[in-house]
Amino acid sequence: MEGITLGPLLLRWNGLLIALGVAAGALLFAIEVRRRNEDPEIVYHLFTPILIWGFIGARLWHIFTPPLSAVQLGLTTDYYLSHPLDVISVWVGGLGLPGALLGGFLSLLYMSRKYDLPFWSLTDMAAPGIAFAQAMGRLGDFFNQELYGLPASLPWGIFIDLSHRLSGYESVDFYHPLFAYESILNLVNMGLLLWLARRTSANLKPGEVFLSYLLFYSSVRFLLEFLRLDVSLIQGVNVNQVFFSLMFALAGGAFFMGRLRKPEL
């Protein structure tokens, strides 16, 4: 079953789970804001621009770094640039999470500057919700038969229909469920961030919960890319792995430099 049918409409499981993940993440964001005695209305003020620019970033990332499955279908960057209507047709191709992170981050940075909001404190409060949204959203890949890994003979290997297998793997039935690995690790990340924010908040500087999220998630994605078949390549280089390597380095550098900075008197 592809989804829920409401009259002429088909609500696909992948889209529903992404939407539920976004809603759950926003709710957890609001809970964290309230816990810090801030006005939770700020979440609803920021939600729409972050969602819009995160979506735009995710679409652009897919267009300019299409995975092998899209390339095999002819959905290359050149194709999208020569078929502009398909650029906005999100059911053609897909979305890229690195672009969503970039778009959402830049949107929050802009909004915090425009309305004089504490940017790094906001990122700290949003971080557990981001991890929770990712954990729920990834489950939609089960229904789309996406984000699977190398062939696997393990008991938890997932069966992939022939129509969803990459060229060269037509005779292989079972694969690593990378979407499940990432979903579980995102839940672990969420739990660690909530613990960090509550148990050690007195020893943390603004932004360090969010930087911890980036360090954990970039490590997860970098390592899982070694198991992934449907990679995004530019000149033979796994662009997602490069992106998350840079993210880890930048987050680690920012965390380290923040620790070296003396507190203001």
120 forms beta bridges with: none
Q: What's the rounded Cα separation, in Å, for the pair 241 and 227?
A: 12
The answer, yes or no, to whether residue 26 has pLDDT greater than 70, is yes
Q: What is the mean pLDDT of the chain?
A: 89
167 within a domain of the structure (yes/no) = no
Question: Which residues constitute the domain of residue 102?
Answer: 9-162+173-260
Place of tokens 């957890």: 28
Report if pTM > 0.85: yes
Section 25-48 average pLDDT: 89
Judge whether 31 lies within some domain: yes
260: pLDDT strictly greater than 50: yes
Higher per-residue confidence, 55 vs 3:
55
Greatest Cα pair distance in the chain: 67
In sequence order, the 6+-apart residues with CB closer than 8 A to the CB of 78 are none
Domain membership of residue 265 (yes or no) is no
The answer to whether residue 140 is domain-embedded is: yes
pLDDT at residue 25 greater than cutoff 90: yes
Answer yes or no: is 73 within a domain: yes
Taking the C-alpha atoms of residue 57 and residue 104, their distance in angstroms, rounded to an integer, is 8
**Mean pLDDT to the nearest integer, 36-40:** 85
Q: Which residues pair with 11 in a beta bridge?
A: 4
- What is the chain's Cα-based Rg? 19
The whole-number average pLDDT for the span 185-209 is 88
Q: How many CB atoms lie within 10 A of CB 5?
A: 10
Which pLDDT score, from 0 to 100, does residue 202 have?
A: 67
Asked, for residue 17, whether it belongs to a domain, the answer is: yes
The first and second tokens of residue 82, run together, are 């020569």
Q: What is the pLDDT of residues 42-91, one digit of tens each?
A: 888 898 999 999 999 999 999 999 998 889 888 999 999 998 888 888 77
Total domains present in the chain = 1
Q: Domain for residue 224, yes or no?
A: yes
Structure tokens at 67: 């995975």
Q: Which residue has the tokens 């297998």?
A: 165
The backbone torsions φ and ψ at residue 16, rounded to the nearest 5 degrees and listed phi first, read -65, -45
